[in-house]
Amino acid sequence: MTAPKWFTDGFPHVWLPYSQMQTAPTPLAAKSTQGCTITLEDGHELVDGIASWWTACHGYNPPHVIEAMKHQLDVMPHVMFGGLNHEPALKLAKRLADLLPGDLNRVFFVDSGSVSVEVAMKMSIQYWINKGVKGRSKFVSFKDGYHGDTLGCMSIADPEEGMHHVFNEVLFEQFVVDVPRSPKQLEEFDAFLAKHKDEIAGVITEPLVQGAGGMKMFSPDVLKNMCETVQKHELLFIVDEIFTGFGRTGTMFAIDQAEIVPDIICLSKALTAGVCPLACAVAQDHIYEAFLSESFDDALQHGPTYMANPLACAAANASLDLFEQEPRLEQVKHIHQKLRNALTPLQSIKGVKDIRILGAIGVVQVWDIKDTNWLKKRFVEEGVWLRPFRDIIYLTPAFTISDDELDKLTGTIEKVLTQWSEL
Ligand SMILES: *Cc1c(COP(=O)(O)O)cnc(C)c1O
């Protein structure tokens, strides 16, 4: 079928994410979504295995979330957050504070995950300035980490990876170290912090799984040891739960499995169930209190125009309702078991290097993916939406996915990977 007019007219005017526009395959024309299905303009249906970049945790168009947004749309789609507050934001802030452990009580709303990380970094730097401690402006982050695409976020990503290195010349210099998986690495991490702590504002990590860096996983014990080492040196510990938050790893937050309380946590992606953008950085009381004084200079210097957008906050509140009313974490457990059963045998396909499962995340890592476009094309032909990247093919489905849909996804991965191994 030929592309619709809106596509041929408009496509010459958009610039796609992380794409070499000269050679990138033409994107597909999406028409509508429902449940775990994406319908294309030509009527072709795709079972979505990745929930639109890990956001659509209740499937597409969740009725309760859509209803809440429709109501909010009539009442007040947006109002500035400077000088004015509103029910959706304050309700959401209280609910997040109640859900998060310890003193994680102060919510700063922004529009995207990257900006929530920027805010966490600014909070950390200014925290030390407000306390009168000089020179603590650098961050420690981890190899294979990813925290977003803005300049500050790029500076704490793994410099070896392919996404940001062209900007190396302008990026702030940070410390990027190994995830302390082994006792020896933990000792080295400890020694590193002891040596550099006077330069360090904070340590930032993705908990339990490093998403965009290739779905690299580590245990709750590793996270716990990391946190305890950071806190032993009285440095700030920032956890980026933008991917992992809201059930993805099997608990509401990944930090719950390590029973730790970071100083600041960043949330986004599934926060609004994938219907619209919203993110936040949530700080412990002691961070917030370091900004209280008679001087405006001590105030947190940040404030996005669309901060705490009421529509987005209404969506997030409705999404939290669904986590309370429906057995989401049970569904994650069920998906986990099914992924384990279906993906583990793929280890025997030639070229497969590793199979990793955590919560509702299933990863097939290969030795060398060669041509991701071939895989992407084959998956679409088979009626599934999967986006292999680097050396992995992964599943992060909606928690509401049916057994049949999940079987279709894992069965297609097996079929296509087998063909791929025989190329
Ligand atoms: C997606 C992601 C980000 C960036 O969020 P955006 O909304 O794309 O800016 C940051 N950190 C992690 C762990 C992510 O997965």
Contact, 86 vs 335, CB < 8 A? no
pLDDT for 1? 61
Q: Which is nearest to 34 in space by CA: 52, 54, 18?
A: 52
Q: Within the chain, what is the greatest distance between any pair of CA atoms?
A: 70
- Ligand 1 atom 5 nearest Cα: 113
pLDDT for 162? 64
Report whether residue 113 contacts ligand 1, using a CB cutoff of 6 Å. Answer: yes
From the candidates 48, 127, 144, 146, give the one annotated as an active-site residue: 146
Is residue 60 part of the annotated active site? The answer reads no
422: CA distance to ligand 1 center in Å?
35
Query: Which of 158, 269, 271, 272 should be mutated for ligand 1, with most atoms under 8 A from CB?
Result: 269
Is residue 269 part of the annotated active site? The answer reads yes
pLDDT for 423? 86
| Helix/strand/coil for 419 | helix
Residues annotated within a binding site: 53, 113-114, 146, 240, 269, 303-305, 387
Handedness of CA 184, 194, 102, 301 (dihedral sign): negative
- Structural domain spans, the chain: 5-61+327-422, 76-325
Report whether residue 206 contacts ligand 1, using a CB cutoff of 6 Å. Answer: yes
Report whether residue 142 contacts ligand 1, using a CB cutoff of 6 Å. Answer: no
Spatial separation of the C-alpha atoms in residues 100 and 95, rounded to whole Å? 9
| CA distances for 286 relative to 82, 107, 124, 290, 321, angstroms | 23, 13, 12, 6, 29
Q: In the numeric block, which tokens belong to residue 32?
A: 């509508």
Spatial separation of the C-alpha atoms in residues 24 and 69, rounded to whole Å? 35
Angle 399-27-43 from CA coordinates, rounded to 5°: 70
Is residue 338 part of the annotated active site? The answer reads no
pLDDT for 401? 98
Q: Which amino acid is at 423?
A: L
Which fold is adopted by the domain 5-61+327-422?
Aspartate Aminotransferase, domain 1 (3.90.1150)
Atom of ligand 1 nearest to the CA of 115: 9
Mean pLDDT, contiguous 10-residue spans, the chain (423 residues): 90 95 95 98 97 98 98 98 98 98 98 98 98 97 97 91 79 94 98 98 98 97 98 98 98 98 98 98 98 98 97 98 98 98 97 98 94 94 97 98 98 97 90
Handedness of CA 51, 55, 59, 63 (dihedral sign): negative
Which fold is adopted by the domain 76-325?
Aspartate Aminotransferase; domain 2 (3.40.640)
Contact, 203 vs 192, CB < 8 A? no
- Ligand 1 atom 11 nearest Cα: 147
Q: Which is nearest to 136 in space by CA: 197, 194, 203, 190?
A: 197
DSSP code, position 86 = -
Sorted by sequence, the CB contacts under 8 Å of residue 152 that are 6+ apart come out as 117, 118, 121, 172
From the candidates 138, 216, 269, 376, give the one annotated as an active-site residue: 269
| CA distances for 116 relative to 26, 146, 247, angstroms | 32, 13, 19
pLDDT for 165? 79
Contact, 309 vs 278, CB < 8 A? yes
Residue 34 has, within 13 A of its CA and on its CB side, a CA count of 5
| CA distances for 6 relative to 15, 44, 46, 334, angstroms | 16, 18, 21, 41
pLDDT for 367? 95
Q: Would the pTM count as exceeding 0.95?
A: yes
Sorted by sequence, the CB contacts under 8 Å of residue 413 that are 6+ apart come out as 343, 346, 364, 386, 393, 395
Contact, 386 vs 379, CB < 8 A? yes
Atom of ligand 1 nearest to the CA of 114: 9
239: CA distance to ligand 1 center in Å?
12
